[in-house]
Amino acid sequence: MKRAYSLIMITLMIGSVFGTLAYYTFFTPNCPLPSGGTPIVLGSGFTNINGVDYTEINVTFTAEAQQVAASSITFRTTSFLDPTIPHLRNGACVTEPDAPFQVTLQVAFSDGASQTFPPITYGGNPPSQSFPPFFITHGTLQAGVQSLQGQDYLNLFLNTNTA
């Protein structure tokens, strides 16, 4: 009798595992992936920060693996979360139109060296806080990024002698 109960319990446990796998395989929605494409360059110009001249490029990224290149410096998204695109949260595809964007940028230099900026949060409602320009220096080259409160784009900076 104990053996029969043991077999029933083992059968129920195995069935539960397969049932759970089947549920998550067949009933969990597949959210669409961001479209990719190219980032949107909103404009460029020159600016001076703490006595140093920089070329400034205002960019809206829309997906991972997008890049903006200027002379010997390339900015590339290594991770990107656009909350306005459906994404999986608690088993459902949701959009969060008021949530901020989150991006991680990598900067690559013409000699093959690359470095990554800390993760950046920008946009949203209420808007994310501004942060001062953050710069990465490689030899004589400098690349920077900044977000101002209320912007849904990033300000990218590079030495004016590199663009």
Report pLDDT digits (tens) over 64-101.
899 999 888 999 999 998 888 888 888 888 999 899 99
Same-domain status, 18 and 59: no
Same-domain status, 155 and 75: yes
Same-domain status, 84 and 155: yes
Same-domain status, 76 and 53: yes
Report the chain's mean pLDDT, rounded to a whole number.
86
73 closest CA partner among 46, 107, 48? 107
8/61: higher pLDDT: 61
Specify the pairing of strand 92-94 against strand 87-89: antiparallel
Q: Residue 119 and residue 102: Cα distance in Å, rounded? A: 7
Half-sphere exposure of 125 (CA within 13 A, CB side): 5
Same-domain status, 59 and 23: no
Asked if residue 10 belongs to a domain, the reply is yes
Position 27 confidence tier, pLDDT thresholds 50, 70, 90: low
Same-domain status, 26 and 73: no
Number of domains in the chain: 2
Tokens 């693996």, residue?
65
Q: Residue 160 and residue 163: Cα distance in Å, rounded? A: 6
Q: Residue 156 and residue 66: Cα distance in Å, rounded? A: 14
Which tokens is 46 given?
Answer: 């020159």
Asked if residue 102 belongs to a domain, the reply is yes
Distance, CA of 88 to chain centre: 16
Query: Under a CB-based contact definition with an 8 Å cutoff, are residues 35 and 13 in contact?
Result: no
Q: Residue 142 and residue 50: Cα distance in Å, rounded? A: 13
Which domain covers residue 18, as residue numbers? Answer: 1-30
Asked if residue 71 belongs to a domain, the reply is yes
Asked if residue 35 belongs to a domain, the reply is no
Which tokens is 135 given?
Answer: 């710069």
Same-domain status, 12 and 88: no
Position 161 confidence tier, pLDDT thresholds 50, 70, 90: low
Mean pLDDT of 96-119: 93
What is the value of pTM for the model shown?
A: 0.75
Mean pLDDT of 46-61: 92
Q: Which pLDDT does position 31 carry in this prediction?
A: 79
